[in-house]
């Protein structure tokens, strides 16, 4: 396994240490690895959604209608 040194502001270092002390992670490295894995999963999901959207064809909805639906879903 490779080693990486990361510089963090004091507040982020304290946050990472607090998360590792919750019992969910054995140490800060485990916490950071989990964050990176989640980011990878999130980005892959976005790519898959974009591909699915591209394959779905053209929409007959206006851009305004699409934005209204998006906003309703995220209220």
Determine the pLDDT at residue 15: 97
Q: What is the signed CA dihedral for 14, 35, 70, 48, rounded to 10 degrees?
A: 170
Closest CA to 3 of 23, 29, 35, 25: 29
Q: What is the mean pLDDT of residues 11-29?
A: 96
The tokens 């790519």 sit on which residue? 47
Average pLDDT over residues 42-67: 94
Place 75 in a pLDDT band, splitting at 50, 70 and 90: confident
Q: Is the pLDDT of residue 68 over 90?
A: yes
């Amino acid at each position: 396994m490779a080693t990486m040194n990361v510089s963090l502001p004091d507040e982020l270092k304290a946050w990472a240490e607090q998360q590792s002390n919750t019992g969910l992670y054995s140490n800060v490295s485990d916490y950071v690895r989990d964050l990176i894995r989640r980011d990878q999963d999130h980005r892959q999901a976005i790519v898959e959604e974009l591909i699915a959207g591209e394959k779905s064809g053209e929409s007959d909805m206006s851009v305004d209608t699409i934005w209204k639906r998006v906003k309703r879903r995220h209220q």
